[in-house]
Amino acid sequence: MTLRKELKMLNNRMLIPVIIIPLVVALIVGLFFVFRADEPKDPVQTDPPIDTTEPSGDTIVIEPDYRFEHTIGDPVIDFDEGNEVFLDMSLLSYLERMEFGTPAVDEDGNYYFDIDGDIEYNADEEKHVEGVLDNLITLINHFAKEEYSMEASHQIQRFYVTYYDRFLETKYEDLVANIAECFPKEGADPETLPETMLEVFGFSRGDEFAFVFSPIEVAPIKVEFYNVRPSDIVLTEAEESICIYENWHNPEDDGYERNLEGWLHNVIHVVTEKGYNDETVTLAQILFAGSLADAEYCSDWDDALIRCFAIEDMNYDNFKLAVEREFGVCTDYNVPLMDYFAAVGSEVGA
């Protein structure tokens, strides 16, 4: 047998298993799927439907913590030794205002009172005060350690309390680094600070951050009667007939007298209930419209008003002193009041 024939026979022998083995594998796989098709199918597993209904009961709202993240859970935040002197004392009034709140207003811009007659206050920021104060102390300690001047420290504190709610998502390390870019150790420059603020924080203000360079002033809150929504009082026809609103009201008024008629109705109701005559009721309305509307609101105004008429010798001078004592206002500019006393003074309170 020649070498060529032996190689040909060897190739034929090697070719047989190459062909047979794939055929056997294909046959086995085919039989597997045939028997598999006869078995009962498992139910198809699907994701449960998403529940889109609102949860019943009160929804728990987690308020953000206004303390720097790295101080949450730490011991009580306090000044490092000697750093108390860096605190900008003008900020104490600012924090007190945050805690106490500001008068709430209705849809017409009027203040309103609760069941006890006290003005309702909007104290949404009250829960932030402790956190903001802790953060102020933390910033004071940090920049004192970096040898910042007193002026620079005060500038940083004023900036922070004004924008504290903008830094809830800012890491402490990033915040102090950004502050350092805007406020050098010796203090910021009014000429360059607006541009730096825009570059670093993206903040822009029409006043060019003037508040940073002087103590923050918190104006006292004064709530005048004319800005307070009066109680709804329904008068009798006889009581309505002695209301002075139509004679007093200025048709060109620009909202100043928007509550006047309601307050006059309240005055009529209070004075009439105490048994005073129509002359006294009219005088009480003139007192309110000409003097008390601009006065600071007080929750016991009704009792104070009656005390003004409970004096023994009813004349203008004594009445003037009673009004000043009860409401803190001078009636010398209320000409209709003085004219009314001159006309019917002897009948007042009868």
Tens-digit pLDDT string for the chain (350 aa): 433 333 333 344 333 343 344 433 444 444 444 434 444 444 333 344 444 444 445 555 556 677 787 766 666 789 999 999 999 999 988 888 887 778 888 888 898 888 889 888 876 666 688 889 999 999 999 999 999 999 999 999 999 999 998 998 899 999 999 999 999 999 999 999 999 999 999 999 999 999 999 998 888 888 999 999 999 999 999 999 999 999 998 888 878 899 999 999 999 999 999 999 999 999 999 999 999 999 999 999 999 999 999 988 889 999 999 999 999 999 999 999 999 998 876 556 55
Type of residue found at 154: H
d(C-alpha 265, C-alpha 281), whole Å: 10
Q: Of all helices (H) and strands (E), which one includes residue 122?
A: strand 121-122
Is 236 in contact with 201 (CB distance < 8 Å)? no
> What is the DSSP code string of 298-313?
-TTHHHHHHHHT--SS
Q: What are phi and psi of 159, to 5 degrees?
A: -65, -45
Half-sphere exposure of 192 (CA within 13 A, CB side): 8
The closest alpha carbon to 133, from 211, 79, 177, belongs to 79
- The structure tokens listed for 299 are 């929750």
Dihedral-angle region of residue 209 (phi above 0 means left; psi in -120 to 50 means alpha; beta otherwise): left
What pLDDT is attached to residue 345?
Answer: 61
Other CB atoms within a 10 A radius of the CB of residue 331 amount to 22
Tokens 């009656």 locate to 306
Q: Contact at 8 Å (CB) between 158 and 212?
A: yes
DSSP 119: B
Q: Give the global pTM.
A: 0.61
pLDDT, position 130: 86
The two tokens of residue 157 are: 């504190």
In eight-state DSSP terms, residue 120 is: P
* 103 phi/psi in degrees, rounded to 5: -60, 135
CB 140 within 8 A of CB 87: yes
Burial label, 348 (beta-carbon count in 10 A; 0-12, 13-18, 19+): buried
Question: Cβ(111)–Cβ(104) under 8 Å?
Answer: yes
Dihedral sign (CA 239, 241, 245, 251): positive
Are 177 and 55 spatial neighbours (Cβ–Cβ below 8 Å)?
A: no
Report the C-alpha gap between 126 and 192 in whole angstroms. 34
The two three-digit tokens of residue 92, written as one number: 């104490």
**pLDDT confidence of residue 151:** 97
DSSP state of 207: T
